[in-house]
Structure 1
Amino acid sequence: MQTTTKNIATALLVLAGVSFTSCAKFLEEEPKSFLAPENYYKTAEDAFIALTGAYDALGSGGETYIARRLQYLTWFTSDEALPPTLTAEKPLDEFSYVSDNDDVSRVWNSMYAAINQANIVLNRVAKINMDENLKTQYLAEAHFLRALSYFYGVRLWGDLPLVAKEVTAISEVDIARSPISDVYALIISDLEFAGLHLAPSNQNGRARKGAAKALLAKVYLTRASSAAKQADDYQKCADLCNEVLTMPEHVLLPDYEKAVGGEDEFNKESLFEWQGDRVLTTSSELSILGSFSLPRGMYVIPGQAASDGGSIVSEVAYFNRYPDNDYRKECTFYISGPDKNGNTITWQQLAVPYPSPAKKYINKTSTTRDAAAFSGNFVVLRLSDVYLMRAEALNEISGPTADAYTMINAIRGRARKRNGTNPSATPADLSGLTKDSFRDAVLNERVLELGFEGHRWFDLVRTKRLVETIRAIHPTYPVTDKNLLFPIPANEIKLNPKIIQNPEW
């Protein structure tokens, strides 16, 4: 049964009094018993645990939000991936999904649960008598987390019900959708506060200044092509990117393969990651992205076949966008490997014969597929994205300037260095492009650089290329402009008379 808005509100009223255990690498606290809200949120320890709950809400187990369902919504509805063995997700891939789609409902519900957990921190922690600097830090992290969820939401659904305070009564969820201009205003306000008050460094898995500024840059870049656009959006994006790029805490790693992966988590290129290997419950906070995208029939770990592999695979057309001699191709896909007899097989010979994009989501040094020892984090933001955002924004302002070329060629230059040292001739630096061709080049560079990192659908939508891209590889799929937004979940419409459905849904 799908969770409804009023069901969510009831659950959130309970969650307001429930504490959370900590991340294995982030917060190390003993589990707490249930406490009623009036007896809770009194001390700095209570504030810390409330903040843990806000992080936990981004993905509490493999079933929810950033741990799984957000990728289902955006990977399968782009040209990036398809679900050969996930029957329930085939409507997403084939554009036959409707407003009662379970994944759409799960992401909506999880998003608002995460928003409310951030609101709990903002509303309750602000009243606690504790060290003011520490309090401000916690509030800044909560502002970042709320902004992240609303930014996903405004891109997925457009106008949204704005819940800017903790839900304490079921009646408080019966509100109308606010226009995207108002949603963006809240997101920007949250991220400006976070960018001002977060420290440049923080514990692994927690927000920091560079993440807030980079996310705000992406907000401006996205708003610039929306109905809420402002004249200076591209300039603000470019300026914020420059601030992040000049921060000594963040550097572009010399080896592309080290930028993402279970054995390379929280590196200096990373800006913000959802921790896929923390243990908040007995079942672990494990993302399924690694195991589900493994090549079934290929023994990536000696003696251990991927019986659940092949559930998430790359579209062949997307795989073919990578030149064979681009280092990023071999760092993203399992193109070949040993079978159970030790013979080398290619992806065309797999039990599920599609390219496997698993390399970014597993620990390639692991000797076991057991829980946290195997899966990598979901990297929400990293520095190479910032380079490409600045390149795009500068081009939109003034065409392909020297600085814009510097940005994109820095990314291409890193891709020429296999293992960080062995130079290659490709991809060559770009030069002599028009504004339109540079725009196309940046979008294609994002394909090669950021594949399977949660950006492709959003890039296609904001550049108004989703429909033409899908039709080019699947001419019979009924994709139209209505698919630039997802439907509001059917149960939300039934239970809240103030919510109006998106057009054509």
Structure 2
Amino acid sequence: MKKIILFCLVLAATACSDVLQEVPVDRLSQENFYRTKSDLLAGLNAVYAQVRGANSYGTNYPAQLNGMADYCISRGTQIPVSEFKGLDGTNVGRTNGIWRDLFQSINSANIIIKLTPGVALSEADKNAVLGEARFLRAFNYYNLVRNYGGVPLRTEPITTAGETSGKRAPIDEVYKLIADDLLFAETALPSTQAEIGRPTRWAAKLLLASMYLTRENWTVARDKADEVIKSGLYSLVEVKTSDEFEKVFGADLTTSPEEVFYIKYARIAGQGWGYPSYQHPADGPYTTGVRAHWTTTAIPLIKNWSDKDLRKDYNLYSSYINRSGKLTTFPVAEPICFRKYRDAPANPPGNDFPFLRYAEALLISAEAGSQAANGPTAAAVENLNKVHRRAYGFPPNTPVPSVDFTLAGQTAASFRDLVLTERAYEFMMEAGRWLDLKRLGVDKLKATIKAARGKDVADAHLLWPIPQQEIDNNPDISITDQNPGY
């Protein structure tokens, strides 16, 4: 069984000395409870608990974003997500849940940020706790701003519904708060953590790199990614067969040299990751599921994917042996499904959500480095090639002429397209493709979806709606502040 390092939230009958346990902070007096470092660390678990839940990263957040990728098509109640015409009531309900849980997580972080200075700790310990809380607040706001646009900036704890106020801040102001939090976190957090799953200064640097990439601040994005690369703490796991990617994503895995910051789950009732059920059928050899996402070779990224790329076989499957021992193929109309996240049917899925991994640092450095120089540099090409070589089963750091990309004939635009394609394959079903397309601009996003799916993207599909409950309860937001199409 996968060793539990972090986030055993309810283990009343199990001794687990290295496991963090959530404390229901909303039921305790904050002033009375937060007296020691252990109290603060326990309180921090509430910040993670809301992120890990079914309404956010547990299920709905990756389900919504993966269904909006150009290579993924949704089934069932998720169909409107892949039609690109705006969300229906069912899926608006899901994005409302995401909003609620991310803001609850922000509020839990704000409690820690406010109370930590009053706890008797060394300055180093205080900074480590504050760095973690501010990293997590930035993480939540980064997810909010990319999907909803401008949102209220809340930096103080909310204790009553009457305190739920704040105008939708301009997007630039949201990003400023994210940057301020992460710049603090990268100096306050330790280089390594005793408990796997807590962010380090390198996680803060890589999240900064991702944010700067989204903001097209190319030089700083490249430099922050390069700091992670040059730290020497991370590396790509070498593989020679497709199944060896289980050493990166497997349900039995505790961690790997690629993990920079993952959302951690475990094979424990109530602690497993819910999203993998969206990928698999009910009678298959993997996690029992509903097969909500599928794809087809009519989509260019899938059609053009080389069979020599080990990620293709690892990510895609068209048939399986069902639990009665019968070879089963997926329906002709829905011929291919995704299988990156897999566990035995009897287990709650123990896979972790790979939010930040080392390949991200390499590909951010490649893209941003080329954009900063107005064309690919040798370093940018090499960083791209490291990821590409590993995908074909070769050692990442050794040139492979038959596989490597070269500088010859490349422009900034053509090289960026290479990187974006590599990102699509490398991070398939990691909830990032739609966000990658969005940062390329509306015209490019719409053209890509049109070419892949034959669908016109409505403006209403570009941002998720502000929840009606927020409009009703927040005196500073009215129906006129709603995103287009809702």
What is the TM-score with the length of structure 2 in the denominator?
A: 0.86
Deviations 1:423-447 (A, max 9, x none): 9986443332122111111110101
Number of aligned positions between the proteins: 458
Deviations 1:123-151 (A, max 9, x none): 11221112432222111111111000000
Quick one: structure 1 residues 29 and 176, their matched pair in 2 at CA, closer, same or farther if it must change by over 3 Å?
Answer: closer
The separation in 2 between residues aligned to 1:32 and 1:150, in whole angstroms, is: 23
> What's the offset of the Cα at 1:78?
2.2
Deviations 1:5-24 (A, max 9, x none): xxxxxxxxxxxxxx965797
- For the 8 Å contact 1:466–1:484, the answer to whether it is kept is no
From 305, 325, 334, the equivalent of 1:322 is 305
Quick one: structure 1 residues 265 and 45, their matched pair in 2 at CA, closer, same or farther if it must change by over 3 Å?
Answer: closer
Equivalent pairs: percent with the same residue?
29
The separation in 2 between residues aligned to 1:387 and 1:422, in whole angstroms, is: 15
Quick one: structure 1 residues 292 and 74, their matched pair in 2 at CA, closer, same or farther if it must change by over 3 Å?
Answer: closer
Q: Which residue in 2 is equivalent to 1:452? A: 429
Letter in 2 for 1:332: N
- For the 8 Å contact 1:291–1:375, the answer to whether it is kept is no
Quick one: structure 1 residues 486 and 315, their matched pair in 2 at CA, closer, same or farther if it must change by over 3 Å?
Answer: farther
The alignment status of 1:379 with 2:354, answered yes or no, reads yes
Letter in 2 for 1:46: D
- Counterparts in 2 of 1:34-433, with a 5 A limit? 34-60=27-53, 63-85=54-76, 87=77, 89-98=78-87, 101-202=92-193, 203-224=195-216, 233-255=217-239, 257=245, 258-277=247-266, 283-300=269-286, 308-314=289-295, 316=297, 317=299, 318-340=301-323, 342=325, 344-347=327-330, 353-359=334-340, 361-363=341-343, 366=344, 369-371=346-348, 374-398=349-373, 399-417=375-393, 427-432=403-408, 433=410
Letter in 2 for 1:400: P
- For the 8 Å contact 1:64–1:110, the answer to whether it is kept is yes
Q: Which residue in 1 is equivalent to 2:5? A: none
Deviations 1:58-106 (A, max 9, x none): 113xx22111111122111221323323x2x222222344485111101
Quick one: structure 1 residues 128 and 278, their matched pair in 2 at CA, closer, same or farther if it must change by over 3 Å?
Answer: farther
Deviations 1:17-74 (A, max 9, x none): xx965797963459679423342212223212111111222113xx221111111221
Letter in 1 for 2:342: I
Quick one: structure 1 residues 321 and 74, their matched pair in 2 at CA, closer, same or farther if it must change by over 3 Å?
Answer: farther
Quick one: structure 1 residues 284 and 425, their matched pair in 2 at CA, closer, same or farther if it must change by over 3 Å?
Answer: farther
The separation in 1 between residues aligned to 2:396 and 2:220, in whole angstroms, is: 32
The separation in 1 between residues aligned to 2:17 and 2:466, in whole angstroms, is: 36
Q: Which moved further from structure 2: 25-34 or 309-318?
A: 25-34
Q: Which moved further from structure 2: 32-41 or 192-201?
A: 32-41
The separation in 2 between residues aligned to 1:386 and 1:110, in whole angstroms, is: 28
> What's the offset of the Cα at 1:272?
0.6
Letter in 1 for 2:309: D
What is the TM-score with the length of structure 1 in the denominator?
A: 0.83
- For the 8 Å contact 2:134–2:181, the answer to whether it is kept is yes
Partner SS for 1:64? helix
The separation in 1 between residues aligned to 2:22 and 2:210, in whole angstroms, is: 37
The separation in 2 between residues aligned to 1:243 and 1:156, in whole angstroms, is: 28
Quick one: structure 1 residues 325 and 29, their matched pair in 2 at CA, closer, same or farther if it must change by over 3 Å?
Answer: closer
Q: Which residue in 2 is equivalent to 1:471? A: 450
> What's the offset of the Cα at 1:162?
0.2
Letter in 2 for 1:417: G
Letter in 2 for 1:58: V
Quick one: structure 1 residues 114 and 387, their matched pair in 2 at CA, closer, same or farther if it must change by over 3 Å?
Answer: same
Deviations 1:240-298 (A, max 9, x none): 1110001122112112712222233421111111112175xxx4122122233124554
> What's the offset of the Cα at 1:346?
4.7
The separation in 1 between residues aligned to 2:18 and 2:99, in whole angstroms, is: 26
- For the 8 Å contact 1:254–1:414, the answer to whether it is kept is yes
- For the 8 Å contact 1:245–1:386, the answer to whether it is kept is yes
The separation in 2 between residues aligned to 1:293 and 1:271, in whole angstroms, is: 25
- For the 8 Å contact 2:86–2:461, the answer to whether it is kept is no
Deviations 1:300-333 (A, max 9, x none): 5xxxxx6534123345525334222211111222
The separation in 2 between residues aligned to 1:346 and 1:308, in whole angstroms, is: 16
The separation in 1 between residues aligned to 2:69 and 2:17, in whole angstroms, is: 33
- For the 8 Å contact 1:292–1:309, the answer to whether it is kept is yes
Letter in 2 for 1:467: K
The separation in 2 between residues aligned to 1:421 and 1:335, in whole angstroms, is: 33
The separation in 1 between residues aligned to 2:97 and 2:81, in whole angstroms, is: 14
